[in-house]
Amino acid sequence: MTSAKTGRLILEIVMIILSLLFLYPLILAIINSFKSFSEVMSDVIAMPQQFNFDNYAYVWKYINYPRLFINNTIITLIGLIGIILFSSVAAYKLSRTQSKWSNMIYLLCIIPMLIPFQSIMLTVLQLAKNLHLSDSTWGLGILYWGFGAPLAVFIYHGFVKGIPREIDESATIDGASGFKLFFLVIFPLLQSVTTTIIIIDVMWIWNDFLLPLLMVNGSPATKTLTLAAYTFVGQYTSDWQYAMTAMVMAVMPSIIVFVLLQKYIVRGVVAGAVKG
């Protein structure tokens, strides 16, 4: 009994050390964001002589951090709202209707999950230009509707099956139908799936790189956080203290949100992955 207990304790200690080693690259990045250029160059693993925020002040101004943050928020919000709104109504209707048409449309909705983005990136860019969606945060947000819809339709479709049809019927008898039935009765019942989709899509849209690179890289006013960090490092490859600061500033929002919502995020990812 005691030997099993000590074994467990040893395992626990080993795992804690392992997890700290695992996070060490991130810790190093944070440490070095507080150092001056000469400190970074002389010793990367040493602690900074003093924690000053000079690098942060410099990068904050240079990349116009508030602007980027707002851009990211606009893109993510527009993307999310459209994905959830359009996918949930469509998935609900498709799941409730039994016909050749609805099966075919459902397939059309989910097949794109298999198309790699690189296979269509050039033509998406051209189409977006023709539709006047490029070089704007709004336009990028709108484009995410289509890119996010297949998975969202798939997840909602599976979930609606679990909601008894009697609910629709009794609501119809009470006089609700169409959009009223959906938004007042069904949509609230979909809350847990909606949370899952919000989590998956926020993580994806907030961090996405290639689509923003192609769509909104033209002007500093439309850049996203990741994009700005990418171009910033391109210009400052030898000034690692600034580069690391920009990295830390780009990932900080994700880390803060994760720490606050950890439980929901992990649960949401599992739900999405298992359904997907």
Q: Give the footprint of another protein on residues 233-272 (CB under 8 A).
A: 233, 240, 243-244, 247, 250-251, 254-255, 257-259, 262, 265-266, 269-270
- Name the segment binding another protein (CB under 8 A); options: 51-59, 105-113, 161-169, 189-197: 105-113
Binding characters for another protein, 187-226, by CB under 8 A (x = yes): ----------------x--xxxxx---x-----------x
Q: Which residue of 149, 155, 197, 216 would you call a contact of another protein, by CB under 8 A? A: 149
Q: Which residue of 10, 37, 43, 174 would you call a contact of another protein, by CB under 8 A? A: 43
User: To the nearest whole angstrom, how small is the minimum distance from the Cβ of residue 57 to another protein?
Assistant: 20
Under a CB-based contact definition with an 8 Å cutoff, are residues 239 and 154 in contact? no
User: To the nearest whole angstrom, how small is the minimum distance from the Cβ of residue 166 to another protein?
Assistant: 19
- Name the segment binding another protein (CB under 8 A); options: 47-55, 61-69, 111-119, 165-173: 111-119
Nearest to residue 253, comparing CAs of 232, 213, 224?
224
Cβ distance to another protein smaller for residue 159 or 182: 182
Site for another protein in 117-146 (CB under 8 A): 117-124, 126-127, 131, 143, 145-146
Binding characters for another protein, 4-23, by CB under 8 A (x = yes): ----x--xx--xx--xx-xx
Half-sphere CA count of 24, side-chain side, radius 13 A: 10
Cβ distance to another protein smaller for residue 170 or 177: 177
CA distances from 165 to 78, 113, 153 (A): 31, 28, 19
Buried b (16+ CB within 10 A) or exposed e, 10-33: eeeeeeeeeeeeeeeeeeebbbbb
Backbone angles phi, psi at 24, to 5 degrees: -55, -40
Pair of tokens at residue 44: 């990367």
Cβ distance to another protein smaller for residue 49 or 262: 262
∠ CA 73-231-29, rounded to 5°: 80
Does residue 77 belong to the site contacting another protein (CB under 8 A)? no
User: To the nearest whole angstrom, how small is the minimum distance from the Cβ of residue 73 to another protein?
Assistant: 16
Cβ distance to another protein smaller for residue 27 or 70: 27
- Taking CB atoms within 8 Å and a gap of at least 24, the contacts of 253-256 are 253/69, 253/72, 253/206, 253/225, 254/203, 254/206, 254/207
Question: How far is the C-alpha of 43 from the C-alpha of 60, rounded, in Å?
Answer: 25
